[in-house]
Structure 1
Amino acid sequence: MTSVLQISDLHIAREGQLVSDRLDTAASLERLVTRIAEILPAIEPLDAILISGDLSDDGSAESYRLLRQSLARLDVPLFAIPGNHDLREPMRAAFAAEGYLPSLGGLHWARQLGDIELIGLDTLVEGQGGGALDAAALDFLEHALEASGERPVLLALHHPPFASGIAFMDRIGLSGIDGLEKILARSPSEIRIICGHIHSTMVATVAGRVALSAPSPCSSFAFDRRPDAPVGYHISEDGMLLHTWHGAFRSVRIPICAGAGPYPF
């Protein structure tokens, strides 16, 4: 079995700084790490933790340092892709020691992990909220899928390749989805797509493949389909997604709070 724990949209800022003058994302990260440490005995062996974007809220080197410091106590291999709040060069420097990020260009990468191929695509357009799968990203994906043979693929990107139904988030959604769908349709591999950005768990299909978005441990967006829905976030801490491959993909949401129990039936 191959297992990957996905966390997303951590929005870590410089030490002592509140995001939007309200969110203590450093504290929410500590609660998330404590929760992961608690559940590790139940979900081991865990092959990797994947962060699907918005590691940082401000793209500062200090925010990446604080993030690495918090996650280090889990002692689990760490992979990450950038979100719209990240900056490539500080993030590249922060994760240089792991050796999976390219030294130049977009932060696209691929690694065989156990029985699967784990692929990360960079959809960041610096200075914008929306993302893009440009020609370089699509070319990287096509070659990575070819190189993986017929291994099952866990494909990670920050911006969802589907509409969320939340108007203000869809206005900063992903372009280049048509190109993605064409590549996926040609691949013989079993592919599961995972993403972040919308701070909630949604399930969709893209070119016949299951696509899931992960919740955020620091905030959420209300599912409000009205065109004039209020633009803003809710202070709500959610959990993470555990993706496993054992002849087929299975994805499980794990909440940040265990709740009371277990009680006997």
Structure 2
Amino acid sequence: MPVRVLQLSDTHLTAAHSGNARTDPDHLLRSALEAHRRTGVHADVTVVSGDLADDGSAPACRRLAAALAPLRTPVLAVPGNHDVPDTVAETFPSDLLETQGWRILGIDTSRPGDIHGTIDTAAETNRLDALDERPTVLVLHHPPLSPSAIPAFQLVGGGELVAALRERPYVKALLTGHLHDPFELRTDTGVQILGCPSTLIGFRHTGDDTVIGEGHIVGVRQVTLHDDGTVSSTVVAS
């Protein structure tokens, strides 16, 4: 049976929400979840690829957990640059899920005070190498390959991660956030790097240019992990 993964990202909830339906992150999160519900796809797992809370607050993380509870799935969430990692872990303690022959592993690429991401590839590959080689998906906030050339939208050490994955072909895809842009890229060995839209506001990145809003997609990504080790996905706009 395939594994259905619902990916959300960059929800940017705050300790208190405004109630303005057009700009309130809680309202827009509910709209994104409703768009997912209307597709009729029932997720087996939910992942959140960072920036759960715009202000790093615990109330925001708890409200996100409450919003996801009706899905009745395990939830794996990783911190983004707006989050406090310990606060995220208090609400979403699991960074490893295994289901139906697949593994989903969360990686924290956030560093205090930085907008860009950083990864210790040696440490993360050591984690991978301590596990068996079943088909694996990594979840991280900052993508190692990016449609943006702007430093704030980069992952320092991303090139080393891509190189390390050449020797670990069981890693099939990376689910990322940060860019608010539903892009799709592949490494030189075919590993998919899937950028998730934000539930709050959409960006479009092209090299040194970033356009915010202007009708760019907000929503979620639905990812299917197939029995043969392949990965497919669909972006669902709110």
TM-score range, shorter chain: 0.7 to 0.9
Determine the structure 2 residue equivalent to 1:146.
Answer: 129
Determine the structure 1 residue equivalent to 2:181.
Answer: 200
1:242, 1:253 within 8 Å by CA — same for their partners in 2? yes
Shift of 1:145: 2.5
One-letter identity of the residue aligned with 1:127? G
Shift of 1:85: 0.8
Determine the structure 1 residue equivalent to 2:219.
Answer: 239
Q: Which of 73-82 and 138-147 deviates more?
A: 138-147
Q: CA RMSD in A?
A: 2.4
Segments of 5+ residues of structure 1 without an aligned counterpart are 101-108, 258-265
TM-score by length of 1: 0.79
One-letter identity of the residue aligned with 1:31? S
SS in structure 2 at match of 1:186: coil
1:37, 1:74 within 8 Å by CA — same for their partners in 2? no
Shift of 1:172: 3.7
1:204, 1:210 within 8 Å by CA — same for their partners in 2? yes
Shift of 1:217: 1.6
Q: Please tell me whether Structure 1 or Structure 2 has the larger radius of gyration of its CA atoms.
A: 1
TM-superposition CA deviations, 1:46-67 (whole Å, max 9, x none): 3200001111101011111211
Pick closer, same or farther for the CA change 1:177–1:35 going to 2, 3 Å. Answer: same
Q: How far apart, CA to CA, are the structure 1 residues paired with 2:37 and 2:123?
A: 34
Q: How far apart, CA to CA, are the structure 2 residues paired with 1:230 and 1:178?
A: 22
Q: Does 1:122 align with 2:108?
A: yes
Moved over 4 A (4+): 229-237
Determine the structure 2 residue equivalent to 1:106.
Answer: none
Q: How far apart, CA to CA, are the structure 1 residues paired with 2:182 and 2:153?
A: 18
Shift of 1:79: 0.8
TM-superposition CA deviations, 1:173-207 (whole Å, max 9, x none): 11012321232111141421110111111122235
1:199, 1:214 within 8 Å by CA — same for their partners in 2? yes
Determine the structure 2 residue equivalent to 1:9.
Answer: 10
SS in structure 1 at match of 2:222: strand
TM-superposition CA deviations, 1:190-249 (whole Å, max 9, x none): 421110111111122235222111111211123344x4x467555655222222222132
- Give the 5 Å matches for 1:1-265: 1-17=2-18, 23-39=23-39, 42-44=40-42, 46-96=43-93, 100=94, 109-134=95-120, 138-165=121-148, 167-168=149-150, 170-208=151-189, 209-225=191-207, 227=208, 229=209, 232-234=212-214, 236=216, 238-246=218-226, 247-257=228-238
Q: Which of 138-147 and 71-80 deviates more?
A: 138-147
Pick closer, same or farther for the CA change 1:71–1:172 going to 2, 3 Å. Answer: same
Segments of 5+ residues of structure 2 without an aligned counterpart are none
Pick closer, same or farther for the CA change 1:18–1:235 going to 2, 3 Å. Answer: farther
Q: How far apart, CA to CA, are the structure 1 residues paired with 2:122 and 2:74?
A: 27
Q: How far apart, CA to CA, are the structure 1 residues paired with 2:200 and 2:49?
A: 14
SS in structure 2 at match of 1:33: helix
One-letter identity of the residue aligned with 2:175? I
One-letter identity of the residue aligned with 2:205? F
Q: How far apart, CA to CA, are the structure 2 residues paired with 1:248 and 1:111?
A: 16
Q: How far apart, CA to CA, are the structure 2 residues paired with 1:206 and 1:218?
A: 28
Q: How far apart, CA to CA, are the structure 2 residues paired with 1:125 and 1:62?
A: 21
Shift of 1:254: 3.5
TM-score by length of 2: 0.87
One-letter identity of the residue aligned with 2:195? S
Pick closer, same or farther for the CA change 1:190–1:129 going to 2, 3 Å. Answer: closer
Pick closer, same or farther for the CA change 1:224–1:206 going to 2, 3 Å. Answer: closer
1:161, 1:206 within 8 Å by CA — same for their partners in 2? no
Pick closer, same or farther for the CA change 1:129–1:62 going to 2, 3 Å. Answer: same
